[in-house]
Structure 1
Amino acid sequence: MARQAVWMRSPGTRPGALSSPLHCLPPARNTTRRTIAAASLAQTPPSHSTRWRPISVLDDWVAKEARPISLRQLMVFGRSLTEARLISSANYVRTELPTRLAHRLRDIQQLPYAVVSNPHVHAVYELYYNAFDMLRKVKEVKTLDDNDVLCAVIGQTLQAHLPVIPKLAMGILECSELMPARDLDKFMNTILRARISRRVIAEQHLALTETFNSSWYSPGAPLPEGHEFIGEVFLKCQARDVIDRCAKAVCALARSAYGPDVQLPDIQLTGHLDTTFPYILSHLEYIVGELLRNAVQATVERHQRQQQENPSRYATNGLPPPPPPIEITLCEAAQHVIIRVSDQGGGVPHDMMPYLWSFSKGKHSQRLLKNLKKVPRMAATLQELRVDEGSQQKTAPGSDGEHPHGNSLASLSQRPPNLRLGMGLPLSRVYAEYWAGSLELHSLEGYGVDAFLQISKLGNKNEQLTMRASMDAV
């Protein structure tokens, strides 16, 4: 996510201003605390080299239930921050992260051995086990010094896990003939949703710590007037602004891919334009950005094909007409907001329909595998749509720097239109459903697509988690 991870924003800070420390250590009160945290990392055990491990160490942790949170809980907790609340948050994260990792490790262990032996799946298992092993050994947080040690471990883990998403995707594609597609998709949806959840609670705590140590913050004071963020939660997320930013970014990306003179569809926005709701901005920007990217790409490519096939029909006064517009409708109801994205890009090809929401792509797997190998790292806090301008990178929706926990999908979102990964829609649905929303798509082959994103607008829905190891029935 290319946005500052701070629990509360100082007055005048706009979305996109970033904090700098790569390992997410808060500003130290003195050099001793920074030395303590560094010493803790230096004592981190080396990566395990064994091919497999006994599962008994996980039993106690798998027996624990994850404790889900809601956006409203995050907002209420962060409005008046004290040292006691900071330490309480630290101990929640200290026990919650290894619990959630243990469930996912057990899921991987219960896959067929041929799948677990896949080098990509095995690499993810190693990363998860090492993180679990580090986090379960962190002692109870009683002081601010203890909290700095925890933050150092969390920051190291977030950075180390950046390659997990493409590795999982490649592993699933390579194992598509070893398990039923439905079981593979169940595994992927469970493990990716859990990954989002861990990133959310980890970054919220890092943001809380950074805010508590900021010179402008007064412990115990209420949220200053003018603040629109509490940590990762944007209190007044306005769908219209998100769509505008993503539309500009998608169009800039299309021009860089198709040429500066390409004819782009007009993006028309109608409906309840003043709708606001609390949400994690990067989640919404990723979903909307992916839907708009698909719509613009399909519309441009279909329009170009039509002009090449019948130039006289698609020309007026010697000039080609613009492509048909993309229509976006915002609809606000009592409990939710719906965003509809309608295009005339020709619809989803018939041979892709069975794989639309699946991470397993059948006969298309080998082509997508080649493309995925060109995208080595993807952050889980997704802020999509970056555009390369010479040697400068600009983050397109509303950001101006790098995320402190890693590069937020820069290599993914700079990919050219022909570098299809087959992950956009399935991953977007995982993000939509994480906060009890939904994503549906209706395709009219030969005409276009209507995509419907539903968002819970009150912030009172818990994150949607699989509470125990999910693969027992497989």
Structure 2
Amino acid sequence: MPESWKLTKALRDRIYRYATVKQTGVSLRQMVQFGSRPSQGSLFHASHFAVHELPIRLSHRVKDLETLPNGLAREPSIQLVRDWYAQSFEELTALPEPRIKDPEMARLLSGEKQQEEQISGHKKSLEEPVNRPYIFSDDGVVINRRSHSSSKDNGNGEVLIENLNSTHMHVGLLRPRRSYYISTPKDIVYPPEVQNYNKDVTKTLTKIKRRHDATVTTIARGVQSWKRKKNFTYVDNSVNQFLDRFYLSRIGIRMLIGQTIALNQQAMGNMYSDDYVGIICLRTNVMEVAQDAIDAARFACEEHYDMIEAPPVQLYCPEDLEFMYVPGHLVHMLFETLKNSLRATIELQQRLHPGKAIEDLEFPPVKIIVAEGLEDITIKVSDEGGGIPRSAIPLVWTYFYTSANQKIEEYDPSFTSGSFKPPFMGLGVGLPHSRLYARYFSGDLKLISMEGYGTDVYLHLNRLSSSSEPLQ
């Protein structure tokens, strides 16, 4: 972050006005309606939605960070994250509204016309009607996506896409479109203003996404530092609730940013894939993703313990099991879960055989079993790492409870986003954060432990994917 940047009173006041506005959720189903080859018009709608929705979400988090109790809001790491969010808010709200010179095109892109018609001598194909209802194959619900927008001529032959919402006029906000996805024709030539707007939004979102890469780790440093100063053993319930809300919101923000960037980059580079719509894989192969997570977790384990070969991991999964999901989310959840199981397995054997070299120890395998149901795909990760005492089970779902004897780095004023590598263990955010990833798309993560033997973690993934985001 540039040293000259600072959160001014005027910007803070504007952020707090935005924080009074309700957030708009986006479902996984809606995100994949673009298809593998979206039109520039549909991407325009997605970019415009993101530019107007993200500042609302960011504003809620800035307000939360500034109202943390008991001095936590004054921690340097917490203030650093707040400034990242505030600066991203400022950059998004500074983006100029797109101006479309062609009135017919402007009406289409404002969402005002959502029926089949001729545009600039081109008729829409029957395969891509603008106002086509979308029938969810999993539950038969018909969703008719419309945007009741308005367009205004600025007197110079240009039309400003404005979308003013009278209920939010007191805060001076532009209303985001009702839907992230709006169907537009693919067989017409869109004006350069459309493509230029999509490119500008992609460039801005890419910079913002990179800025926030280290948010989870930086928040962890701030809370850990605050805990030590206050001599707290555990984080109280109000802070845990804040962290749940904050991290869940971050998942949604990054999902919206990542999807918008990926859709635009695929279109600009013509990097189309029938399997992917943005970052969502329509046919996520569970076995392949699980194997990627196994390889990554075992490598991280070998690096941390300076060992030649990590404990074995046995995978039991149908080779052809596929469903619509975000592979990056699944890898994250499995990686964090496997990391815990591998660490518990190694450290139990070290306690049972003191003085024995780590390379001479024999480790029982960690087992991953995948089952397919009508509603869920369930993944069980089982280890023989000694288990967790029953009294400690509730604590594993609280933030910054960890059995690892490792401290994270103190706040460093020279620290910048992306320059800090999270430790293999000791943050105390892995399990609760992974559970949020599961719950983001209506799944869940549960743990059952047998003290003296091992632990089973059950990851339930919702395969229906019709629910909207859990916004708070």
TM-score computed with the length of structure 1 as normaliser? 0.70
Give 1:164-179 correspondences, 5 Å limit: 164-176=215-227, 177=230
Call closer, same or farther: CA 1:256–1:372 in 2, change over 3 Å: farther
Give 1:104-253 correspondences, 5 Å limit: 104-112=61-69, 114-142=71-99, 143=193, 144-176=195-227, 177=230, 181-215=236-270, 227-253=274-300
Call closer, same or farther: CA 1:463–1:253 in 2, change over 3 Å: same
Moved more, 245-254 or 329-338: 245-254
Moved more, 76-85 or 278-287: 76-85
Contact 1:166 1:372 in 2 (8 A): no
After superposition, the C-alpha distances for 1:179-207 in whole angstroms (9 at most, x for unaligned) are: 96111111111111111111111121112
Cα drift, residue 122 of structure 1? 1.3
Identity %: 26
Call closer, same or farther: CA 1:320–1:78 in 2, change over 3 Å: same
Give distance in 2, aligned partners of 1:301 and 1:333: 35
Name the amino acid aligned to 2:217: P
Kindly indicate whether residue 407 of structure 2 is the aligned counterpart of residue 368 of structure 1: yes
Give distance in 2, aligned partners of 1:365 and 1:447: 19
Tell me which residue corresponds to 1:425. 431
Contact 1:307 1:320 in 2 (8 A): no
Give distance in 1, aligned partners of 2:416 and 2:289: 25
Q: Select the structure with the greater relative contact order (CA < 8 A; seq sep ≥ 6).
A: 1
Give distance in 2, aligned partners of 1:207 and 1:58: 27
TM-score computed with the length of structure 2 as normaliser? 0.70
Kindly indicate whether residue 464 of structure 2 is the aligned counterpart of residue 458 of structure 1: yes
Tell me which residue corresponds to 2:364. 324
Cα drift, residue 366 of structure 1? 9.5
After superposition, the C-alpha distances for 1:14-47 in whole angstroms (9 at most, x for unaligned) are: xxxxxxxxxxxxxxxxxxxxxxxxxxxxxx9951
Call closer, same or farther: CA 1:147–1:113 in 2, change over 3 Å: farther
Cα drift, residue 60 of structure 1? 3.9
Call closer, same or farther: CA 1:254–1:162 in 2, change over 3 Å: closer
Q: Which runs of 5+ in 2 are unaligned?
A: 100-192
Cα drift, residue 307 of structure 1? 2.9
Give distance in 2, aligned partners of 1:148 and 1:285: 29
DSSP-derived class of the 1:175 partner: helix
DSSP-derived class of the 1:185 partner: helix
Cα drift, residue 349 of structure 1? 5.8
Name the amino acid aligned to 1:303: Q
Call closer, same or farther: CA 1:273–1:148 in 2, change over 3 Å: closer
Give 1:6-405 correspondences, 5 Å limit: 46-48=4-6, 56-112=13-69, 114-142=71-99, 143=193, 144-176=195-227, 177=230, 181-215=236-270, 227-262=274-309, 264-270=310-316, 272-308=318-354, 322-348=362-388, 353-361=393-401, 367-370=406-409
Contact 2:36 2:276 in 1 (8 A): no
Cα drift, residue 348 of structure 1? 2.7
Cα drift, residue 454 of structure 1? 0.5
Name the amino acid aligned to 1:301: E
Call closer, same or farther: CA 1:129–1:321 in 2, change over 3 Å: closer
Call closer, same or farther: CA 1:424–1:216 in 2, change over 3 Å: closer
Cα drift, residue 232 of structure 1? 0.3
Tell me which residue corresponds to 2:161. none
Call closer, same or farther: CA 1:157–1:324 in 2, change over 3 Å: same
Cα drift, residue 332 of structure 1? 1.2
Moved more, 103-112 or 348-357: 348-357
Question: Computing the radius of gyration over CA atoms, which structure comes out larger, 1 or 2?
Answer: 2
Cα drift, residue 303 of structure 1? 2.0
Call closer, same or farther: CA 1:446–1:215 in 2, change over 3 Å: closer
Cα drift, residue 353 of structure 1? 4.2
Give distance in 2, aligned partners of 1:128 and 1:89: 21
Call closer, same or farther: CA 1:93–1:261 in 2, change over 3 Å: closer
Contact 1:90 1:141 in 2 (8 A): no
Contact 1:442 1:449 in 2 (8 A): yes
Number of residue pairs aligned between Structure 1 and Structure 2: 371
Name the amino acid aligned to 1:346: G
Give distance in 1, aligned partners of 2:56 and 2:302: 45
Call closer, same or farther: CA 1:174–1:333 in 2, change over 3 Å: same
Give distance in 2, aligned partners of 1:372 and 1:423: 18
Call closer, same or farther: CA 1:49–1:210 in 2, change over 3 Å: closer
After superposition, the C-alpha distances for 1:240-274 in whole angstroms (9 at most, x for unaligned) are: 22222222232233333445555x44322335553
Give distance in 1, aligned partners of 2:96 and 2:352: 65
Contact 1:291 1:341 in 2 (8 A): yes
Name the amino acid aligned to 2:396: L
